[in-house]
Amino acid sequence: DQQVKQNSPSLSVQEGRISILNCDYTNSMFDYFLWYKKYPAEGPTFLISISSIKDKNEDGRFTVFLNKSAKHLSLHIVPSQPGDSAVYFCAASAFAGGTSYGKLTFGQGTILTVHP
């Protein structure tokens, strides 16, 4: 049972355009969501996060949107740059007190390619 799904295995975008990566989840207990970026032969690096009390969080070129009713979140990258080419993982966590901390459930990842 995959609780976090990234249905697009890959996305190709032209430099300067917007990249939109999508993520759906099924567990209504999830209340904290994160995006990680991963380059080949490296570990995932934290990119941006959002709490369920918000519907939008912005950090520079990166914005994450959360639609709780649809159990859907998306990551927007504007403008996209070739250096953004990587695998992007969506992750979710249920902050139900101490034992759940950091127990992130990850999606399968989306390979983003930004063409010059």
Partner 1 sequence: DARVTQTPRHKVTEMGQEVTMRCQPILGHNTVFWYRQTMMQGLELLAYFRNRAPLDDSGMPKDRFSAEMPDATLATLKIQPSEPRDSAVYFCASGTRGIASPSGNTIYFGEGSWLTVV
Binding site for partner 1 (CB under 8 A): 31-32, 34, 36, 41-46, 49, 51-52, 89, 91, 93, 95, 98-99, 101-109
What minimum distance in Å lies between the beta carbon of 72 and partner 1? Answer: 18
What minimum distance in Å lies between the beta carbon of 115 and partner 1? Answer: 25
Residue closer to partner 1, measured from CB, 14 or 28:
28
What minimum distance in Å lies between the beta carbon of 12 and partner 1? Answer: 20
Q: How many CB atoms lie within 10 A of CB 108?
A: 15
**What pairs with residue 36 in β-bridges?**
46, 89
What minimum distance in Å lies between the beta carbon of 45 and partner 1? Answer: 7
Residue closer to partner 1, measured from CB, 69 or 99:
99
Q: What span, in angstroms and rounded, lies between the C-alpha atoms of 76 and 65?
A: 8
102: phi > 0 → left, psi -120 to 50 → alpha, else beta; which? left
Closest CA to 95 of 23, 4, 33: 33
